Structure 1
Amino acid sequence: MTRQGPIGHVDADAFYVAAERVRYAHLAGMPVGVLGNQGACVIAKSYEMKSFGVGTGMPIWEALRLCPDGLYVKRDFRWYEILSRLMLETMRELSPRVEYYSIDEFFFEAAAPPGGDYQDYAVLVRDRILERVRVPVTVGIARTRTLAKLISDSAKPFGARAILDRAEEESLLAARPVTDVSGIAGRRERRLRPWGIRSCLDLARADRRLIRGVLTASGEALWWELNGDPVIPIHAQRMPHQVLSRGGSFGEATDRPDVLWAWLVRNLERLVEELRFHRVLAGRVAVWVGYRDGHAGEGRATLEVPTDRFDVLLDAFRPCLRRAWVPKAMAARMHLFAEDLRPHRPRQLGLFDGLGADDAATAVKQTINDRHGRFAIRSAATLPLGAVYDDRANGYDICDVRGKTCF
């Protein structure tokens, strides 16, 4: 691999809350929680609200009990994407290579300003984003991206820290549990425990061959990164998708087959949008349904011919949903997956091929929706979800923010 200079990591501090404070200045300093699609749970909280014990993913009724005087607002991913892309533009002015990792995170090639050092550069990046976008961020700079993320995590909130000395790195690693390494949690952490690996430094000092045997090649890459050898590159352009997915929580659980079918159709319309935007065809499909009692159902199917056609995919998903459905059980969430993605390439038409009815209808639908709104025309099967479409917050999702390398 070509050797590269230091790598930086930018992570916004309580980004969704910060974004709300950009347009509603009176929220500054107040305990603020941002609610998910149906307002059922807290998906982000300010540091002030966190001090009351409110956690991410907590149901709203529990958050209200812990923080009754908090201000709770419904999320607006359209607005968050605007600020996210402003941060991206600012980063591209400050660095020759930037990876749009997630809606509020960026990795970048660190280029120290003339006459300055990397600590000065970290402060410059942090302050420039605050000046341009009014969103507070934390910046970490290190020899590898894994170390840079650990540094920024340790410097929150509104920190700026560059560590390039091995002794300082080891001091940081010794103080952080191994689960702070992105990619190590749950099962992987349990696999390391019998070997006495509990801190990041334990992992860095372990035998490389042991780590490869326990955590495979991806775990070995983290070992190299923790030891200061950059083996995970910056991706200035997003790599091709391996899988596309759309779905999420229903907000209100249901055991009605017609509502479950309506959610499948809604999610499929959004999934087809992505297939066509990325110009790929699905070779396999799957549907996953999660139930309120903790159980889940799944159905899968392989298509005879890869496609992005709504009518063909709907016929494929129908038996998948039947297999995932548990009669009378309260379903709470659903995800659709398009797998085995193939590039959408021009093909020679046969003698009797032409523009099919579905293709023509899709073209008309897209033209109208582009002009009048994303869901101005939608399938009649989604009529049971009228309240969902009436709520503007449900018209856009974090997955609709395109170009990120993280999901």
Structure 2
Amino acid sequence: MSRAPRSSSARRDWGSDDSATPIIHIDMDAFFVSVELLEHPELAGLPVAVGGTERGVVAAASYEARSYGVNSAMPVGAAKRVCPQLLMIPPNGERYREVSRQIMAILDEYTPLREQVSVDEAFLDVSGAQRIFGRPVQIAQSIRERIRAEVGVPASAGIAATKHVAKIASAHAKPDGLLLIPKDATVAFLAELPVGALWGVGERTRERLEKQGVETVGDLAALGQGRLIQLLGEASGRHLYALSMGIDARTVMPSHEEKSIGKEVTLFDRISEVEQIEAILLDQAHSTARRLRERGLLARTVAIKVRFGDFTTITRSITLPSPSNVAQEIYLAAKRLLSAVHIPADGLRLVGLRAEQMVRTGDGIQLAWDDDPRRLKAEGVMDLVDRKFGRGAISPGSLLQPREDSAE
């Protein structure tokens, strides 16, 4: 979760020019609580917190609980004193990590330049994605809608020219909102904020600045770089002055080389028909194969994941005859894995597909579909159409069915 300071009086509309704002910060709203509400919808609208025992601390609080003064890191005992009706839910770390993986997989469909900074937030650089997905605001809104529809949790988004400002913007967009800070409005936006909003201003630095009459970022900028260097030293003075001017040279850095690529979908209306489940896997196979090709990768292994009505979850995997990035090959492997799974009458809650044990193309590896180059050519054409007209402009024929039969 973002801990960027925010001003309750800050403006919520700074203009609509997103032509120079390729950085998006996606941050889940009260993430742990939002995940728990998926399984306990009867608690929606109530003061709820995730945390440990009376001697523990609050890990996350619903906005209803926050209205009473309950905050993250507050001792549970203190939280119950300010909100006696507070409902505590024990944390489920594995479940939060699982939902996080679903969300990050959605983000990865828009750009490989995704930097995850915690379980519930990430930066994106969409400079190279706009031809396919539209302007940054359109991309951010699409991401928020997909997270809500496919995962079931709310997300806020900040859009700006830099990581620093995008993160602050997402904090001001909460809850469940979107805030664009056009490049030309950056300095004016920052000027109104408390000086603690700047990355690197801790308690001691804030106190030193307050003694100089500096309360807002605008006050700090007015001091000038030279005076800040005198007060705080060369490095800190230059750093904070640059941030106050909207300058942040940090780029979005993918956290690590991907070990797997895939897609999961939570089924709010459980399904038990094998044909419907296979259609979901086919869609996931095409999404996964496209991302493999975009990254120049082949998968040695295909895995599926299903969750039953009682929340029991199983995974199954199979090694391909040869590494592949062809959707049909991936789908057939997933379909074979599904055939060995007993689907109960009350259906499935989640279906997922992943490509694993990846290798780079061009490493002297025999491709699985070398004997059928038409398949690779057909999927390559689909990639070209996607790049020109946007994702979803063309689909495999077996996915052309009524919308209600789709996972999305």
Spell out, residue by residue over 1:371-401, the C-alpha distance to the aligned partner (whole angstroms, 9 max, x if none): xxxxxxxxxxxxxxxxxxxxxxxxxxxxxxx
The amino acid of 2:62's aligned partner reads S
Q: CA deviation at 1:48?
A: 0.4
Change (3 A) 1:148 1:204: farther
Structure 1 match to 2:103: 87
SS for the counterpart of 2:209 is: helix
**What is the one-letter code of the residue matched to 1:70?**
L
Supply the distance in 1 between the matched residues of 2:228 and 2:99 (Cα, whole angstroms): 39
2:33 aligned partner, one-letter code = V
Match of 1:48 in 2: 64
Tell me the equivalent position of 2:337: none
Report the Cα offset of residue 107 of structure 1.
1.1
Deviation digits for residues 123-146 of structure 1, max 9, x if unmatched? 222222222221211100111111
| C-alpha separation in 2, matches of 1:73 and 1:219 | 44
Separation of aligned partners in 2, 1:212 and 1:83: 44
1:146 touches 1:226 (CA, 8 Å); kept in 2? no
Amino acid at match of 1:139: A
Residue of structure 2 in register with 1:125 after alignment: 143
User: Per-residue CA shift, 1:274-317, capped at 9, x if unaligned?
Assistant: xxxxxxxxxxxxxxxxxxxxxxxxxxxxxxxxxxxxxxxxxxxx
Counterpart selection for 1:170 from 187, 207, 217:
187
Q: Secondary structure at the match of 1:149?
A: helix
| 1:33–1:218 Cα change, 3 Å | same
Is it true that 1:71 corresponds to 2:87 in the alignment? yes
1:202 aligns with 2:224: no
Match of 2:203 in 1: 186
Any stretches of 5+ residues in structure 2 without a counterpart? 1-19, 258-408
- SS of the aligned residue for 2:211 comes to helix
1:212, distance to aligned residue in structure 2 (A): 4.3
Structure 2: distance between partners of 1:6 and 1:105 = 17
One-letter amino acid of the counterpart of residue 170, structure 1: V
Q: CA RMSD in A?
A: 2.6
Q: For residues 61-86 of structure 1, what are the alpha-carbon distances to aligned partners after superposition, in whole Å with 9 as ceiling and x for unaligned?
A: 33223322221111111111111121
The 5-angstrom pairing of residues 250-289 of structure 1 reads: none
Distance 1:206 1:107 in 2: 31
Distance 2:234 2:243 in 1: 15
- The aligned residue for residue 150 of structure 1 is 168
Q: Is the 8 A contact 1:204 1:226 kept in 2?
A: yes
Shift in alpha-carbon separation, 1:221–1:236, aligned structure 2, 3 A: farther
From 70, 77, 83, give the equivalent of 1:61. Answer: 77
Counting matched residue pairs gives 235
Letter paired with 2:122: F
Per the alignment, residue 135 of structure 1 pairs with 153
- CA–CA distance in structure 1, aligned partners of residues 28 and 123 of structure 2: 12
Deviation at 1:9, TM superposition (A): 0.9
Gaps of 5+ in 1: 240-407
Q: How does 1:368-379 map to 2 (within 5 A)?
A: none
Matched, 1:12 2:28: yes
Letter in 1 for 2:211: P
- TM-aligned CA deviation for residue 238 of structure 1: 5.1
Aligned to 1:248: none
1:220 to 238, 257, 260: 238
In 2, are the aligned partners of 1:142 and 1:148 still within 8 Å (CA)?
Answer: yes
TM value normalised by structure 2: 0.52
* 1:221 shift after superposition: 3.3
TM-score normalised according to structure 1 size: 0.53
1:119 CA drift (Å): 2.4
Alpha-carbon displacement from aligned partner over 1:180-237 (angstroms, at most 9, x marks no partner): 2233120121222233322122334442244345165256334324423331222213
- Tell me how far apart the structure 2 counterparts of residues 56 and 173 of structure 1 sit (CA, whole Å): 25
Distance 1:138 1:218, change over 3 A: farther
CA distance in 2, matches of 1:238, 1:218: 29
- 1:38 CA drift (Å): 7.2
Aligned AA (2:50): V
Secondary structure (helix, strand or coil) at the match of 1:94 reads coil
Looking at structure 1, the residues matched to 247 and 67 of structure 2 have their Cα atoms a distance apart, in angstroms, of 38
Q: Which residues in structure 2 correspond to 1:231-380 (within 5 Å)? A: 231-237=249-255
Does the 8 Å CA contact 1:144/1:226 hold for their aligned counterparts? Answer: no
Helix, strand or coil at the partner of 2:143: helix
Aligned twin of 1:328: none
**Letter aligned with residue 194 of structure 2:** P
Residues in 2 aligned to 1:216 and 1:21: alpha-carbon distance in whole angstroms: 48
Counterpart secondary structure, 2:73 = coil
Q: Using the alignment, how far apart are the partners of 1:97 and 1:130 within structure 2?
A: 22
User: What CA distance in whole angstroms lies between the structure 2 residues aligned with 1:173 and 1:136?
Assistant: 26
Output the CA distance in 1 between the equivalents of 2:63 and 2:90.
18
8 Å CA contact 2:25–2:166 kept in 1: the answer is: yes
Supply the distance in 2 between the matched residues of 1:22 and 1:130 (Cα, whole angstroms). 11
Q: 1:5, CA displacement in angstroms?
A: 6.1
Q: Is the 8 A contact 1:144 1:225 kept in 2?
A: no
